[in-house]
Structure 1
Amino acid sequence: MNFLDAVPAIRRLETSRDDLLAIDVVGHVSAADGENLFGLMEAAYALHQRIDVLVRLVDHDGVDWANIAEETLKQGTVHATEYVGRCAAIGEPDWTADARHLLRASPSIELKHFTTEDEAAAWQWLGARPTGKQ
């Protein structure tokens, strides 16, 4: 195994808001990376009644959805509808239409796509800024 194989595709970003879960999604997302993402979200839900989410796609190369446990996906969807207020998606592809379809039970989640060039607008929309090493 190459030491680069162990680098996670989901990387948490430090922000100026403790109720904002911001992540980079880099390259290909394995099932283990997907499970890690749901774990990060569950940790945020445990600390806050409502959170916002920022997802920045970097050289995105797909997700192994079929290999993520069905129960994890179901629970993740239910919890997102209960806890997420706003979600900013930065980069390509724009997956917000698919997310709206999946989360149709919760019209209260605001999903908005931003191009990579408009990243500053995404942070502003969420009332936050990145802090620390990005």
Structure 2
Amino acid sequence: MKPLSGLPDHVVAMKTSGRISGSELDIATDRIDAALRHHDRISLYFEIDSLEVTPKALLKDLRYGLKQLTQLDRFYRAVIVTDQSWVHTAAEWEDRLLPSITVRAFPENEKEEAREWVAKAPPEPRPKGLEEIPTSTSHVVAFRLKGTITGADIDVVADRLETAYQAHDHVNLLLRVESAYQFQFDVLREALFDLKAEAVRHLERYAVVGGPKWLAGLVEAVNPLFRLEISHFHPEEEQKAWAWIGAQSKEGSEPSRVSPEPSE
């Protein structure tokens, strides 16, 4: 399995022939994960000369597919270019079973049409899920969560915190969860455990306001794992949360969006 070039950045393009090993499948899944970090929605393009899947690769493929079920809406189009008839049949079934992604198979002699079709840019991205909340003091950084949070959002939060560390030895953070949202599992782990080791060393207090009931339990469970203090507040306790981190919201001004613009 090898990467293919000549398609837009939001398209993960690969070519394979013969048996797919577990290590080759890792190449594909790593590229998909990388694309999902930089694009709101991505498409997939695969050229297949012949296909034989090892049991190990099949199990890995199944595990990865299950992992992606929580974010299927981030896949726009999938194309398979092959002359193997059974793959065309499988693609038709996949297209019916996965309503959020359009799956098509093209024969080898229609490769250019396939590339043109998969290269189409996805519709306008969903509204950005993360925005910065202006605060009354520079040692307190705050954000509102209004939608899906991605790995790229976590990176931007960490970068914003690092900027604050240049002026202060310790910084406090507030996250307000305003509406229904989704957390990719890996992103949730990042948000709680991997928010850059340097950032965690400087954070003193981390307040989480709102969100589903299980979020309060999760915050309570992970709190002993860190030197910083993490506390959950119900929405009606927001003023208490601001007092706890030592600042006030200055939302009279337009909040700045911190999610990076799509690179496509």
Say yes or no: does 1:19 pair with 2:142. no
Superposed counterparts of 1:18-97, under 5 Å: 18-66=138-186, 74=194, 76-92=195-211, 93-94=215-216, 95-97=218-220
Q: Deviation at 1:53?
A: 0.7
SS in 2 for 1:47: coil
RMSD, aligned α-carbons: 2.5
Deviation per residue, 1:83-107 (Å, 9 max, x gap): 0111111002324235425xx252x
Relative to structure 1, is the Cα distance of residues 99 and 3 closer, same or farther in structure 2, using a 3 angstrom cutoff?
Answer: farther
Aligned to 1:8: 128
Greater shift after overlay, 15-24 or 117-126?
117-126
Q: Deviation at 1:60?
A: 4.0
Q: Deviation at 1:65?
A: 4.5
Relative to structure 1, is the Cα distance of residues 52 and 67 closer, same or farther in structure 2, using a 3 angstrom cutoff?
Answer: closer
Q: Deviation at 1:31?
A: 2.1
CA distance in 2, matches of 1:12, 1:32: 15
Is there any run of 5+ residues in structure 1 with no aligned partner, and where? Answer: none
CA distance in 1, matches of 2:181, 2:236: 19
Say yes or no: does 1:119 pair with 2:238. yes
Deviation per residue, 1:50-91 (Å, 9 max, x gap): 1011110111422235369x8xx64x3422331011111100
Give runs of ≥4 in structure 1 deviating > 3 Å. 1-4
CA distance in 1, matches of 2:161, 2:233: 21
Percent sequence identity over matched residues? 22
TM (norm. structure 1) is 0.76
CA distance in 1, matches of 2:187, 2:200: 22
Q: Deviation at 1:23?
A: 0.7
Give the residue type in structure 2 aligned to 1:27. G
- Are the aligned partners of 2:139 and 2:172 in contact in 1 as well (CA < 8 Å)? yes
Q: Deviation at 1:46?
A: 2.6
- Are the aligned partners of 2:207 and 2:232 in contact in 1 as well (CA < 8 Å)? yes
Q: Deviation at 1:32?
A: 1.9
Greater shift after overlay, 124-133 or 113-122?
124-133
